[in-house]
Amino acid sequence: MKNNILKFAVILGGIFVVIILLSIVSYSPEYMYRVIRYRESDVNDYKIFPERTVEHSTQPYNYKMKLLDGLEDKVISYKYISKNYEKKLMDFLEDTKTTSFIIIHDDKIVFEQYFNGYNRDSINTSFSSVKSIVSLLIGIAIDEGYIEGEKQSIADYIHEFKNTTLEEITIEDLLLMRSKIRYKEGSLWFGDDAKTYYMPNLRELAITHIKIDKNYKGNFHYNNYHPLLLGIILERSTGQDVSSFLEEKLWKKLGTEYNASWSLDSSESGFEKMESGLNFRSIDFVKVGSMLLHMGKWNSEDIISEDWIYKSIIAEFPLDEGDYKNSFLEKTDVGYKYMWYSFENNNGGYDYFAAGKHGQFLYISPMNNIVIVRNGIESGKIDWWPDVLENITNIVAELQN
């Protein structure tokens, strides 16, 4: 019996080695090294990728402070595995592995705290919240005439797609996460989640991935090839790398205090990780929200047009529930527009947010003139962060009255 078990284990191990070797040949040694060495992504991944620096503003904007008395002791209601819990705000943030939490109200800091070994100088990484920044960059490129408009075919800029089925896809389709480009989640390193995160040449990956989902019905389907393709379109339309465009058109104009960086797929390829890789200090990232509250103007700069903000951020309500069926947004009452999430709040207005893995959020409530940044090591034991952020927004609004 023992000999048979040992023989089976040897055969199984041999098969695994063969699969690894074939994968190295099919993909790349660097890709397989990253998958095996780093496995699941975490908030320190900005340390493992090369990066391109995004310079801070020469005229930093410093928020005025108007800290809210009593906010730290306010009780926060939340759910975990559908059970109700309550904790004081400071305990809640610490226990949910939050690293930074900043609330801006009427352009003033009313709450700014750091947890779990982080401080104001600590670097936070975006994960998918960067997709919302990519949407803003596309809007700026359209405003300034680099791109004609979001209704254009992606093949107008990615000429490799001319005379292929991908020629039918528009820039807007990518922004909406509604294209027929096939995307398969999971499946270890064979799946598109790992490929679009760890491949050392994401530009090549996106251009050569011409697989079509023949069963696609036009509904929302989260797809990391979309921001990669948008990055290529930004490169080719503006004639500069995406980090430089971000630095010139957004980061410096926001009055940022610190340099940021954008993780690259590799030094050889030098392409920004468009799906996940912006690294920043939270006090600078919150300024994106302030700029949006001011409809594209901030720090005495005109940054992006009101027209783009209106058309890109708030989804069409009431939502078509069938459009989000079998996605992570099903039954959340949250809609998706041009890489921004939005929902109808309890006061009849609309709040919106950028969101990334492990609970990275930039949350904006126009009705209350509030911006919240939450970054974390993980999401913590909580079912749905937007509900909590709305709750905190309402508490801040009440305390100000």
State the pLDDT at residue 280: 98
The confidence band for 252, taking pLDDT boundaries of 50, 70 and 90, is very high
Parallel/antiparallel/unpaired status of strands 260-263 and 301-302: unpaired
> Does residue 15 have a pLDDT over 90?
no
Cα 397 off chain centre by: 27
Separation in Å, CA 116 to CA 19, 128, 375, 378, 379 = 40, 22, 11, 11, 13
Q: What is the mean pLDDT of the chain?
A: 93
DSSP 8-state assignment for residue 57: P
State the pLDDT at residue 193: 94
> Does residue 22 have a pLDDT over 70?
no
| pLDDT per residue as tens digits for the range 290-317 | 999 999 999 999 999 999 999 999 999 9
The mean pLDDT of 80-93, rounded to a whole number, is 94
Q: Is the pTM of this model over 0.85?
A: yes
Compute the distance between CA of residue 288 and CA of residue 136 in angstroms, rounded to an integer. 10
The confidence band for 381, taking pLDDT boundaries of 50, 70 and 90, is very high
The confidence band for 5, taking pLDDT boundaries of 50, 70 and 90, is low
State the pLDDT at residue 359: 96
Under 8 Å CB-to-CB from 165, ≥6 apart: which residues?
180, 210, 212
> Does residue 26 have a pLDDT over 70?
no
Q: Are 193 and 222 in contact (CB under 8 A)?
A: no
Q: Between 305 and 25, where is the model more confident?
A: 305
State the pLDDT at residue 399: 86
| pLDDT per residue as tens digits for the range 113-140 | 999 999 999 999 999 999 999 999 999 9
Tokens of 318: 């009431």
Q: Are 335 and 315 in contact (CB under 8 A)?
A: yes
| pLDDT per residue as tens digits for the range 308-364 | 999 999 999 999 989 999 999 999 999 999 999 999 998 889 999 999 999 999 999
Instruction: Give me the half-sphere count of Cα atoms (radius 13 Å) on the Cβ side of residue 263.
Output: 28
State the pLDDT at residue 321: 87
Under 8 Å CB-to-CB from 274, ≥6 apart: which residues?
130, 131, 134, 202, 227, 228, 230, 231, 242
Compute the distance between CA of residue 104 and CA of residue 101 in angstroms, rounded to an integer. 10
Q: Are 399 and 71 in contact (CB under 8 A)?
A: yes
CATH code given to domain 46-147+245-400: 3.40.710.10
Separation in Å, CA 264 to CA 177, 209, 251, 321 = 23, 19, 18, 37
Compute the distance between CA of residue 73 and CA of residue 238 in angstroms, rounded to an integer. 49
Percent of the chain with pLDDT over 70: 93
Under 8 Å CB-to-CB from 17, ≥6 apart: which residues?
none
Compute the distance between CA of residue 258 and CA of residue 369 in angstroms, rounded to an integer. 25
Q: Are 277 and 49 in contact (CB under 8 A)?
A: yes
Phi, psi of 234 (to 5 degrees): -65, -45
Tokens of 317: 């309500």
Is the bond into 227 cis (omega within 30 degrees of 0)? Answer: no
Domain extent listing, the chain: 2-38, 46-147+245-400
